[in-house]
Structure 1
């Protein structure tokens, strides 16, 4: 389905990376003679020099080099990739876990920077910026009506910690311009979306990626939830594409007993490195559930595999992505980088969960789509396991290698009579944009309502469903929402709640009818 580009939100990209920084991979030498010890590399360097110095037309040799690197890596595996300088800066920031800025969620609405939400306790919130405000000028630079690219907008709002920016804002609700002087500060990019109690004894922690701060965020929230009485822990790794392997290992250490094997890696030379749990675990005894789906990959699979193979907890959901390769990030001097696969990892029973990639990257990534067609997202019996890659856990449970983590408890993709494409759509950024636009028309309609009053108001009407249905018919081809009406209404209500009451309110609504959560809570 094709989404109108003007409704794509401007958020910081969640590109995933594993960061171990090493010196450059290619050295573009100016020597004319080929080195007898490394003639292939020298030939590539010399060819670039020939083109640069002798070719009849002016050629951007940098772009040639970029394409050459891409082509070389395409001959390897789907996860060995080249990252251009502009993308690499985003990756580094996202995985660092914070950035310096003014602290707002925004998107460009009708050529104007519209505030979706100021981040709680951030510089903008403290200064008085409100949801619905439009940023007209930043330090006198006009931001509206110019169709500025994302990086230009970020450049105006970000900066060094402690520096000030003067914003001229139009507040629609008061029909006036207001000037704010905001001091930029460190803004956390949370990798733990939410951590709350599902009931008096069951805690829930959702991890969206494994960044530099993930273990610290997890540990802080785990201790808080234990203090609230948590005896059972649910870790949600659905749609978590991975990140830093070390962060996943550190979290596994909190869950496993001393000297339990977490993971081991093997490189091309056959060198094996094993990682074991230590004595420090904060949750080694309570009941444990890990939620996964077809988009849980890499570091998520390391954590899920460690729990499953040590008989520590129950894996709930659908078969994970199947990425068992370890990348190392290697920097070039121009700010770009290459992520090169340097090892395979294995779960404690000795299985590799890497799915095949011999038929090329395109088919490799499309394999996830074939799971819809072969029915495995609806029935566990349709999961194709590698019968010759059978392993046994210490308690005798059979587990399989060769293509992801197969859950202990299978939960089909969304619910009776719900279209899977609709579910994915309702979890996308386009829903947030729609809700913002509806609130922007009449934010006062929700003013002063308690959360309970808000829920009563939303459940009593289909007006927003009807408007959203019309909205989507115009911008997404072939979408049919009517048969999944109750799912659509749930996510619409949740997004309204997020923008009005905060992140926890969103999950209070979504988790109430989450089938995997219901499955966990039914386990006695």
Structure 2
């Protein structure tokens, strides 16, 4: 089966951008498969009585509703209702929503920069995207949006809520946020902007140890990541001892990106496979023979905002024992959506399969359990200032050492320690160093 170029995996909707879809087949493929299945299951006859009831209700609304309703609007609402009753990721895409989906993999769109879904009738922030208005405003994974510009979210569909949050770049929106049941709701004002997502960021943490942050899985993420790793190797003069792969708050994206990223670090075996009722929804992806790091250790950081494609990468590297996964339980989005075009301007996003890690684990509603659980902590050096410790310099008649010039420039000494900047990342680096030391011990 031919894999489409816009294969998407995601947890919900990026504001102004529909994601969460895996384009496994063309409309013709799916229609043919469904027809074959119907022929194989003759007992599944059309529910004629229920269809008559639908027609009766349609006619009653047309004749008796207090205001005249357009036939097209009624039918579209019925289609939306059918799909909304299935699962949170199946939906009907009108012309505007379908266009958003088609351009969504380019890495540029208008909005706030948050990945959202629906939970208990409210809009839930799955993950804020790096360097966007939403992240700068302090929104966090798990936040519940209860009001949009003072309009209650309860009763709105996800698409309707997203439309309210869209707007002209430069205009302001007010969101009422509930962070936990123990706290009072608070208001956040955010200025809309054109969101340009850089899916790959990298830097050297310490000599020999690289850091790679993937914010989204886009069509060019694998190539960008390989370029970033080459740059890290040059910075370390070919001595890249280990890598921290940061997938925190990465809500997913293009399936090809997830497969490519996993394949870059694996030399054989399955990466991910899917199973569903329709034959064309069954796929399997396998790794090639090359490892871009030549076996150097990897620590993968994840959290509750790591979803779908991120979980594919974390699960594949974990199952092959290629990386240590650290952080908190991931989101748990393990279903597959097929984009089925209705015509040139409309489509269905239909859940058609579940995906599985190489060992056969289903991530759906479970997520990836880290090898090392590590909550988001905060390192406070001042907390230790009141502790009394005795050093040689405190002893009576201690020998003084001639003063030595400082080897650390003043501006570097003033930098924040990594543990203060990002506690989880600091701990991941410590584990990475330990893996490197163990690797050296194994070779001696």
TM normalised by structure 1 equals 0.49
1:513 Cα deviation from its structure 2 partner: 2.2
Deviation at 1:96, TM superposition (A): 2.5
Contact between 1:327 and 1:343, CA under 8 Å: does it hold in 2?
Answer: yes
Is residue 2:79 matched to residue 1:72? no
The Cα offsets for residues 334-372 of structure 1, whole Å up to 9 and x where unpaired, read as 7343321111111111111212xxxxxxxxxxxxxxxxx
In structure 2, relative to structure 1, the CA distance for the partners of 1:254 and 1:53 (3 Å cut) is same
Deviates more, 1:52-61 or 1:222-231: 52-61
Q: Which residue does 1:232 correspond to in 2?
A: 242
Residue segments in structure 2 that go unaligned for 5+ positions in a row: 1-13, 32-43, 114-130, 133-163, 171-193, 381-409, 435-444
What is residue 369 of structure 2 aligned with on the other side?
406
Match of residue 394 from structure 1: none
Partner deviation per Cα, 1:356-397 (whole Å, 9 max, x = no partner):
xxxxxxxxxxxxxxxxxxxxxxxxxxxxxxxxxxxxxxxxxx
Match of 1:31 in 2: none
| 2:276 counterpart residue number | 267
2:440 match: none
- For residues 81-480 of structure 1, the aligned pairs below 5 Å read 81-98=91-108, 189-229=196-236, 230-257=240-267, 259-269=268-278, 272-333=282-343, 335-355=345-365, 403-415=366-378
SS at 1:301 equivalent? helix
Counterpart-to-counterpart distance in 1, 2:342 and 2:413: 53
Are residues 412 and 62 of structure 1, via their aligned partners in 2, closer, same or farther at CA, if it must alter by over 3 Å? same
| Larger helix proportion of the pair | 1
Moved more, 265-274 or 334-343: 265-274
Q: Which has the higher contact order (CA 8 A, sep 6+)?
A: 2
Note closer, same or farther for the CA distance 1:510–1:17 as it changes in structure 2 (3 Å cut): farther
Q: RMSD between aligned alpha carbons? A: 4.2
Q: 1:247 to 1:414 in 2, by over 3 A?
A: same
After superposition, the Cα gap between the structure-2 partners of 1:410 and 1:38, relative to the gap in structure 1 and judged at 3 Å, is: same
* 3-state secondary structure, aligned to 1:321: coil
SS of the aligned residue for 1:203 comes to: strand
- TM-score normalized by the length of structure 2: 0.57
Shift of 1:215: 1.6
Alpha carbons of structure 1 residues 199 and 61: separation in structure 2 relative to 1, 3 Å = farther
Distance in structure 2 (CA, Å) of the matches to 1:70 and 1:244: 25
SS of the counterpart of 1:243?
strand
How far is the alpha carbon of 1:306 from its aligned partner?
0.3
Report how many residues are paired: 300
Query: Is the contact between residue 278 and residue 352 of structure 2 (CA under 8 Å) also seen in structure 1?
Result: no
1:86-139: CA deviation from partner (whole Å, max 9, x where unpaired): 33333332323357x9xxx9xxxxxxxxxx99xxxxxxxxxxxxxxxxxxxxxx
1:521 paired residue number: 429
- Which ranges in structure 1 are unaligned for 5 or more consecutive residues? 1-10, 27-35, 106-115, 118-147, 155-186, 356-402, 418-451, 460-507
The corresponding residue for 1:449 is none
1:236, CA displacement in angstroms? 0.9
